[in-house]
């Protein structure tokens, strides 16, 4: 149950008893910090006046969090980072923290979290809101030690990625990977390149081949692609609430109810298979599907299952009335962030930048097959020949950067599940409208 909360309390209690027995010897972290700073600056001013060479006498302690699969890569990159600053002694610990859960762990206790951490872009607003991410405009000055400025970082990466890492005109994280989205894997022996262009022909071809087309509907990440495609939007407000217009009419002139009807038509097709979030590789290996909507994390599985007929392509279009609407995926990135409460904010910034620069991104692709955000890296032959990464980056132009608050996920997930189960009738206009109204009410509810 409230295990983590309790353990937090307990550790706090234990810590407090430590303080008790020490009889007020520890005067709280903030004081300790300032003391530290004071002694450092005096020590440093004498030894280090030319910032170009960097390095004070004392060891810089830092903690870095990254995904479990990235550990070897990070270790390697950290060694290179240390070698780049031979005058400075480092003690950099690497910990395991998945990008998708980084926020949960960090927000539990920001002051105890890592100095530098990898996280998924959808967590950025909440991390910024909680004051967990360092404002890079403030600490970006430190990049001068690496001989560059914050603007160099911005211009080196895809514009959409930089935009995703920016909130209120402030850059909060370094773009690291650009393939956090979904597209379609298919078996070209069952469905042709022409079939995958739209849902109607895709489902027809799948039915003919006795296979199914799989997609997760019960998820605010996947289900949104239908709405985003029709010109609907979501937005994050300053007070962390979410704006959503799905119960109205979109800029493209489509009604929200039309989108739901189109989704119901697809989900009601016998050749369509709705599966739960996270089940994509199970679905692939079951052999029942000829096409599945998923991300680069399934590339290896899909290649194994489809063999020579493996292919990857952008999302299909779907039909509203007589028009074809291109599905627009929620497009996400992976970032490296600097903890706002890091004791060595400057060095942490340098480390985060180093881990996301061109060379590191190329190495990340070579070792882990993760798509880069760096423009030069993307232009390299070996990357532009990768089918999955190209499928995903080809969508960046119409993909939608999903900025939403915490209240967005459950209501949309539920609507997706209702549609997946056929809980609404295509002809029940009023029922669909009511469902959308309820959805909007839940999503826009005040936070907490």
Partner 1 sequence: MTDQTNVMPEKEGFFSGFGKALVKGDLFVKLSLIWWGAGYIRRKQYVKAFIMTALEVAVILFTVGFAMKYVPKFSTLGTVKAEKVFNMQTMKSEFNDYDHSFKILLFSLISFVVWITAVVVCIVNVKNVYRLQLMEENGVHINTFKEDLISYKEEKFYITLLTLPVLGVVVFTLIPILLLIFVAFTNYDQQHMPPSSLFTWVGFSNFLSLFGGGGLTVTFGYAFVRVLGWTLVWAFFSTVTTYIGGILLSLLLNSKKTRVPKLWRTLFMVTIAVPQFVSLLLVRNFFANNGIVNSICDGIGLTGFLRDIGMISTTYIPFLSAPGWAHVMIILINIWIGVPYQMLIATGVLLNLPADQLESARVDGAKPFQIFVKITMPYMLFVTGPALITDFVKNINNFNVIYLLTQDVYVTTNQAMANSQAKEVDLLVTWLFRLTQEYYNYKMASAIGIIVFIICSVFTLIAFNYMIKGDKEGTYQ
Task: Please list every residue from 7 through 66 that binds partner 1, using CB under 8 A.
Answer: 9-10, 12-14, 16-17, 19-20, 23-24, 27-28, 30-31, 33-34, 36-37, 40-41, 44-45, 48, 51, 56, 60
For residues 182-211, which are near partner 1 according to CB under 8 A? none
CB of 306 to partner 1, least distance (A): 19
Beta bridge partner(s), residue 60:
90
C-beta separation of 229 from 348 below 8 A: no
Pick the closer one to partner 1 by CB: 32 or 96. Answer: 32
Q: Which of 286, 319, 324, 326 binds partner 1 (CB under 8 A)?
A: 286
CB of 388 to partner 1, least distance (A): 24
CB of 337 to partner 1, least distance (A): 14
Q: How many Å apart are CA 392 and CA 186, to the nearest integer?
A: 14
- The verdict on 6 binding partner 1 (CB under 8 A) reads yes
For residues 294-333, which are near partner 1 according to CB under 8 A? none
Residues 6 or more apart whose CB falls under 8 angstroms from that of 278 comprise: none
CB of 241 to partner 1, least distance (A): 10
Beta bridge partner(s), residue 66:
96
Instruction: Find the radius of gyration of the CA atoms of the chain.
Output: 24
Q: Which of 35, 53, 237, 421 binds partner 1 (CB under 8 A)?
A: 421
Whose tokens are 């950025």? That residue is 124
- The verdict on 147 binding partner 1 (CB under 8 A) reads no
How far CA 178 is from CA of 48, 330, 441, in Å, comes to 38, 12, 32
Pick the closer one to partner 1 by CB: 177 or 420. Answer: 420
DSSP string computed for 148-160: --HHHHHHHB-HH
Residues 6 or more apart whose CB falls under 8 angstroms from that of 6 comprise: none
For residues 83-142, which are near partner 1 according to CB under 8 A? 104, 107, 110-111, 126, 129-132, 134, 138-139, 141-142
CB of 116 to partner 1, least distance (A): 14
C-beta separation of 383 from 377 below 8 A: yes
For residues 358-397, which are near partner 1 according to CB under 8 A? none
- The verdict on 345 binding partner 1 (CB under 8 A) reads yes
- Ramachandran angles phi, psi of 92, nearest 5°: -105, 115
Segment interacting with partner 1, rule: CB under 8 A, options 65-73, 158-166, 268-276, 294-302? 268-276
Residue 224: other Cβ atoms inside 10 A:
25
Q: Which of 218, 264, 284, 388 binds partner 1 (CB under 8 A)?
A: 218
- The verdict on 158 binding partner 1 (CB under 8 A) reads no
How far CA 285 is from CA of 69, 391, 398, in Å, comes to 22, 21, 30
- The verdict on 430 binding partner 1 (CB under 8 A) reads no
DSSP string computed for 407-444: TSHHHHHHHHHHHHTT-S-TT-HHHHHHHHHHHHHHHT
CB of 11 to partner 1, least distance (A): 11
- The verdict on 279 binding partner 1 (CB under 8 A) reads yes
């Amino acid at each position: 149950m409230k295990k983590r909360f309790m353990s937090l309390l307990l550790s706090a209690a234990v810590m407090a008893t430590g303080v008790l027995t020490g009889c007020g010897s520890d005067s709280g972290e903030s004081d300790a910090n300032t003391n530290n700073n004071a002694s450092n600056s005096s020590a440093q001013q004498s030894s280090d006046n030319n910032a170009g060479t960097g390095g004070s006498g004392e060891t810089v302690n830092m903690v870095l969090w990254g995904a479990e699969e990235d550990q070897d890569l990070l270790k390697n990159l950290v060694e290179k980072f240390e070698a780049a600053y031979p005058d400075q002694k480092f003690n950099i610990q690497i910990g395991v923290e998945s990008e998708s859960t980084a926020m949960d762990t960090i927000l539990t206790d920001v002051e105890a979290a890592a100095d530098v951490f990898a996280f998924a872009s959808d967590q950025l607003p909440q991390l910024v809101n909680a004051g967990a991410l360092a404002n890079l405009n403030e600490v970006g000055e430190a990049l001068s030690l690496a001989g560059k400025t914050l603007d160099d970082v911005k211009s080196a990466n895809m514009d959409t990625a930089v935009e995703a890492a920016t909130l209120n005109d402030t850059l909060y994280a370094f773009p690291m990977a650009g393939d956090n989205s979904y597209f379609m894997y298919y078996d070209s022996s069952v469905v042709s390149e022409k079939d995958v262009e739209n849902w109607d022909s895709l489902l027809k071809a799948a039915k003919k081949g006795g296979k199914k087309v799989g997609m997760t509907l019960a998820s605010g990440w996947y289900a949104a692609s239908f709405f985003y495609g029709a010109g609907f939007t979501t937005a994050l407000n300053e007070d962390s609430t979410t704006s959503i217009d799905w119960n109205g009419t979109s800029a493209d002139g489509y009604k929200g109810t039309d989108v739901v009807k189109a989704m119901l038509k697809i989900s009601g097709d016998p050749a369509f298979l709705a599966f739960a979030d996270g089940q994509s590789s199970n679905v692939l290996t079951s052999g029942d599907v000829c096409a599945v909507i998923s991300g680069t994390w399934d590339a290896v599985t899909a290649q194994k299952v489809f063999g020579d007929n493996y292919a990857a392509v952008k999302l299909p279009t779907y039909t509203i009335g007589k028009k074809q609407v291109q599905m627009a995926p929620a497009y996400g990135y992976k970032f490296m962030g600097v903890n706002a409460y890091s004791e060595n904010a400057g060095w942490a910034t340098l480390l985060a930048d180093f881990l996301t620069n061109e060379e590191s991104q190329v190495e990340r692709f070579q070792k882990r097959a993760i798509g880069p955000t760096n423009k030069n890296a993307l232009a390299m032959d070996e990357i532009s020949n990768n089918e999955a990464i190209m499928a995903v980056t080809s969508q960046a132009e119409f993909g939608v950067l999903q900025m939403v608050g915490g209240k967005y996920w459950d209501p949309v997930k539920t609507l997706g599940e209702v549609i997946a189960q056929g809980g609404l009738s295509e002809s029940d206009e009023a029922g669909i409208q009511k469902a959308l109204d309820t959805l909007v009410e839940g999503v826009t509810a005040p936070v907490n």
